[in-house]
Chains A and B, each alone.
Chain A
Amino acid sequence: NAGVTQTPKFQVLKTGQSMTLQCAQDMNHNSMYWYRQDPGMGLRLIYYSASEGTTDKGEVPNGYNVSRLNKREFSLRLESAAPSQTSVYFCASSYRDNQPQHFGDGTRLSIL
């Protein structure tokens, strides 16, 4: 019962470094999402992919890129990390509309 798997769980970067966060789901879900969680602000959508081959911007896409590699995998890339991107990043997936999103355990990312 792996569900949604995120790697890595923790990462420290220096300003300007690049990094790709990986996400994979084994539930045959169509839609996948990337959120960031900052203190006092709840979760905010960065990018999402409604189906394989499509991606779209969420509320806070600046500074990020995504790739929906196949139905299972959805990666998030920081090309030039900034301290403002220090956050906890969650990947989620859902089968279709009205179905709950299932979340990974999160990646704690610190940028110095």
Chain B
Amino acid sequence: AQKITQTQPGMFVQEKEAVTLDCTYDTSDPSYGLFWYKQPSSGEMIFLIYQGSYDQQNATEGRYSLNFQKARKSANLVISASQLGDSAMYFCAMREGGRGGATNKLIFGTGTLLAIQP
């Protein structure tokens, strides 16, 4: 069965430092997608970055990059030059594949609470 694991319940990071949030996944489907979402204290879910299983290069979006290691089944989020506004809960999610074509159902990890310290 597909599964997403985020082993870091919480992290403290100094402002301006880079931070890596871990995510490992388990699936037997060769076609899948990996997403990262940010949830600030206000509660909304904000899409950050996407990586497809067949993408040759690691995804990047501004200060966000995804360190995709397919053989290790990991998809870590890297935030460069962290800012106070990066303090939030971060969720890794996997698009669930299936016979007859992929669906867009997401399986979420339990999240990592990131606190940026000035």
Contact = CB atoms under 8 A, between A and B. Distances in A.
A4 B109 CA distance: 23
Contacts of B33: 98
Nearest to B43: A106
A99 B110 contact: no
B68 interface: no
A102 to B, nearest CB: 7
A5 interface: no
Given A98-B50, A102-B47, A45 B110 contact: no
Contacts, number: 59
B105 A33 contact: yes
B52 A103 contact: no
B26 to A, nearest CB: 15
A41 B110 contact: yes
B117 to A, nearest CB: 24
A101 B47 contact: yes
Query: Which of B4, B37, B105, B106 has the most C-beta atoms of chain A within 10 angstroms of its own C-beta?
Result: B106
Interface string A31-58: 1010100001111110010100000001
B104 interface: yes
A50 B103 CA distance: 8
Contacts of B4: 42
Interface string B30-42: 0001010100000
B105 A42 contact: no
A106 B44 contact: yes
Contacts of A33: 105-106
A31 B37 CA distance: 18
Interface string B74-118: 000000000000000001010100000111111111110000000
A88 interface: yes
Contacts of A50: 103-104
